[in-house]
Structure 1
């Protein structure tokens, strides 16, 4: 059932890395009429882009470091992306208690005033001040004295956003290959000759330009490209999160300020849990799969226990995840102060580099600014024959509706025999593509075998055919977070099903 994708021999643009930046550039470039090949050595969003704090936000704390351009651009993207993907992006109110703040209230309020006004906010509610003693936002906190500021940002299903970009790219003609590794390239006049490898062997591809969005591996990829001349270098910072049973009532999140001036978020997660993160830990090496350390666990637990009535221990942790952020090295001493802005490093070659084919290396960036990064990348490359900008306001697959609750009501009316809880989960994941999966089903039984937790065969087949899913982890932890909800044995049953259908075609 895995699509039989042929590796093209010649393309305009070869993109290395299937995270948010690579998928975003592939979407943009394919929509401009260019032939595009995106290769990812693992699964889409299998590293940094599925390990974020899952926010579409301006980055309030970046104001403290003078990152005004980045914050403004991010805030302008915030509502735009919400409108483009209302199934996987939605508003979230954040409570910022002043009870343990190392920053004076006037400073925080000034920052929030800027946050409300420099990014063109239209539909999200403005900041308000509440009394923790009286307001529902104080419930669950260990100290309800004093006040808190309440402001707006948005939540995003990060790995799904990557998949939707890749889907849109493919619908515009791009070839997206997972489990395909870039081995190296060299310039040959005005084009690149690149070597790729997958389970079927090695392959040669020529391209007019290469974009290196390998994330934490950006420098490693540069090392495989003959005569590449990067102007910058990457700085690796690990961020980790823990998931615990729900710590407080309500659908709001908290921004918790620590004595070291770092902030940690506590966010409602998958209905039953609270997500706590993130950390900022410099990495001396690059593990294939990042993992949380005991020190990070202790730091996040200490933060939560400082603020909430319900005390949490290591035994309460139901899941952890970590990612390595490939930040541009701006020589900042403090890991938290390293710029989150993106840097595009264009190498146009020349006679001494074997030709004039461009190489664009992408450093840094945040999930909120991926669309603008893609536009800027296309401006830098300036490839002949490319069309103009088109992505602003264009809905992502499944995002062609205005209001989630209204769309869900439509689904419930159309499928009265299917449980509303299942319809809500699927609508949040797939938007209007839910109807493609459900088809003419009148009950959940029509969707095929339930492998556990409402994961039916029809949904699995869709993910394999349309979203490049191949393994149980792809489905349970990236295309969804069903891994937190399914019973024991589901992963094994899912693996057996995927193996069986791959063999039978």
Structure 2
């Protein structure tokens, strides 16, 4: 099995090189491969480890676009939402939301009801009553405010890391060559067009030059860093990095069972919804001026999110002790210079995606694409491919029925039961495989069927099995323990995770991957460092002044 884990040499020439392995870059790789082009996808860290894994995890239909009158973007977001619900139903599911407004709201009852009616009408989103949830929230919310509650429906992708893994598998199945932990060091141009890229393998240290006709910069918040490698004729910035911080709380009595959207007194939107056994609260939006790789919430951001949740639910008596962890991601918004100062203007229009052609800057064949959300990644990929002269071969599917969530659950449980009877793999483990691997689940099941090592659970008390970790390395390009436990089989995102579980997971995964004791120890050390930087919690929040 070890032969599968050898990193081969990069090709000498490809037609298209994509720099950046987040959801936008992987979506574009999948799109280009459909046109039978040779594609190289490069990511300096791991696929989905940047902004994608640090997003809100809500598949937004674009409701906020109504505020700015961007009906076209609203329609596009709704179509993207519907496509994800249809094509990735094991990862993306409907989530009932409630908008809560009080006397301080900027919008009247008529304006709110009209916006939700238009949203449902344009997106064929079913009406949801959520009467039980509404009454429960009325009892739990701050009773000093007169709340008006309006139900609507969004969707949730709890683990966008798995969405990237699925799309990566699709891309590689159609010929894409993908390489993570591979940093582009230079983009060569000559006579006004791109010629190739110099790549350093972060695992082997080997440098390679790959000739290419197209270089697509899909590096997200690192867009300007990559752009500067081409030594273009202009030095104008493209991106402003905006840090969005999210807080995870332990669930409390009266916590929302669906999503809740409110506006804080200063007008900023705030969302609360269940995620992975916790309650997620988010988000902030402040300019990020530090190292993009080390983005973490500030104490002030944590205080704002914690205080907002506490004021909404005073009966819960939320304090800093209820915080499990927080994380922050940097969103790439279009840089726009204000007339009076050099600070970027972060108005709502800047949240749209951008495709920038560098042909007039001395780099014909180079494009930079950034921005958007999970719902617009596929459409951004199609538009970028069209600019490159490629025709989309993907067909629109039939409308998806999002009203009966129990139907999907029943099908999944029936499949898991059948697998258990046929293979002896515990039903809970079979169900866990199906939830995260979808149409690729049988590959994992077949590997585990006759191998007791691969059928072992990765950690006690959770159903995921070692075969999923092997699948991650053999087919999904995972290299490190962090790649496996944070993104391919992301069980380390749970609130119960600790150093003991890390050691247990590594001890069970290592024999299947051929890791020796030295390699295993190094992987554990690197994993703990990566997880603590990602899932951030100050050591003493109360001493830092954070108390609700």
TM-score higher than 0.5: yes
In structure 1, the residue matched to 2:286 is 281
CA contact (8 A) 1:212 1:362 kept: yes
SS in 1 for 2:230: coil
Distance of aligned partners of 1:237 and 1:447 in 2 relative to their CA distance in 1, 3 Å threshold: same
Cα distance, 1:158 vs structure 2: 1.3
Distance of aligned partners of 1:391 and 1:503 in 2 relative to their CA distance in 1, 3 Å threshold: farther
Distance 1:107 1:86 in 2: 32
Gaps of 5+ in 1: 395-401
Distance of aligned partners of 1:138 and 1:430 in 2 relative to their CA distance in 1, 3 Å threshold: farther
In structure 2, the residue matched to 1:268 is 274
Distance 1:265 1:110 in 2: 21
Aligned length: 486
CA contact (8 A) 2:12 2:209 kept: yes
In structure 2, the residue matched to 1:476 is 485
SS in 1 for 2:200: strand
CA contact (8 A) 2:34 2:392 kept: no
In structure 2, the residue matched to 1:115 is 119
Distance 1:137 1:293 in 2: 30
User: Is 1:67–2:45 an aligned residue pair?
Assistant: no
Q: 2:358 aligns with which of 347, 352, 360?
A: 347
Can you list the C-alpha shifts for 1:126-163, whole angstroms capped at 9, x where unaligned? 2658598x734545333395431010111112111112
Q: 1:13 aligns with which of 13, 16, 27?
A: 16
Distance 1:336 1:159 in 2: 28
Distance of aligned partners of 1:331 and 1:204 in 2 relative to their CA distance in 1, 3 Å threshold: same
Which range moved further: 90-99 or 302-311? 302-311
Q: 1:202 aligns with which of 199, 204, 207?
A: 207
User: Is 1:364–2:371 an aligned residue pair?
Assistant: yes
Distance of aligned partners of 1:392 and 1:168 in 2 relative to their CA distance in 1, 3 Å threshold: farther
In structure 1, the residue matched to 2:153 is 152
User: Is 1:406–2:411 an aligned residue pair?
Assistant: yes
Distance 1:406 1:348 in 2: 50
State how 1:91-130 maps to structure 2 within 5 Å.
91-99=94-102, 101-103=104-106, 104-119=108-123, 121=124, 124-126=125-127, 128=129
Can you list the C-alpha shifts for 1:389-427, whole angstroms capped at 9, x where unaligned? 326449xxxxxxx93431331221331454444333322
State how 1:175-214 maps to structure 2 within 5 Å.
175-188=177-190, 191-198=194-201, 199-200=203-204, 201-214=206-219
SS in 1 for 2:195: strand
Gaps of 5+ in 2: 339-343, 399-406, 520-548
State how 1:74-473 maps to structure 2 within 5 Å.
74-99=77-102, 101-103=104-106, 104-119=108-123, 121=124, 124-126=125-127, 128=129, 135-138=135-138, 140-143=140-143, 146-156=147-157, 157-188=159-190, 191-198=194-201, 199-200=203-204, 201-227=206-232, 229=234, 233-247=238-252, 248=254, 251-270=257-276, 272-308=277-313, 309-331=315-337, 335=346, 337=348, 339-348=350-359, 353=362, 357-382=364-389, 386-390=390-394, 392-393=396-397, 403-416=408-421, 417-439=424-446, 447-452=454-459, 453-473=462-482
Cα distance, 1:290 vs structure 2: 1.2
Cα distance, 1:476 vs structure 2: 2.3
**TM-score normalised by L of structure 1:** 0.88
CA contact (8 A) 1:211 1:360 kept: yes
Query: What root-mean-square deviation, in Å, do the aligned CA atoms of Structure 1 and Structure 2 show?
Result: 2.8
CA contact (8 A) 2:247 2:302 kept: yes
In structure 1, the residue matched to 2:403 is none
Distance 1:446 1:363 in 2: 42
SS in 1 for 2:356: strand
Cα distance, 1:30 vs structure 2: 0.7
Bigger helix share = 2
User: Is 1:54–2:57 an aligned residue pair?
Assistant: yes
Distance 1:502 1:331 in 2: 53
Distance of aligned partners of 1:131 and 1:410 in 2 relative to their CA distance in 1, 3 Å threshold: closer
CA contact (8 A) 1:87 1:404 kept: no
Distance 2:289 2:121 in 1: 39
Cα distance, 1:378 vs structure 2: 0.6
Cα distance, 1:363 vs structure 2: 3.0
Q: 1:490 aligns with which of 496, 501, 520?
A: 501
Distance 2:120 2:33 in 1: 35
Distance 2:225 2:72 in 1: 29
Can you list the C-alpha shifts for 1:272-316, whole angstroms capped at 9, x where unaligned? 211111110111233322111111111111111121231322222
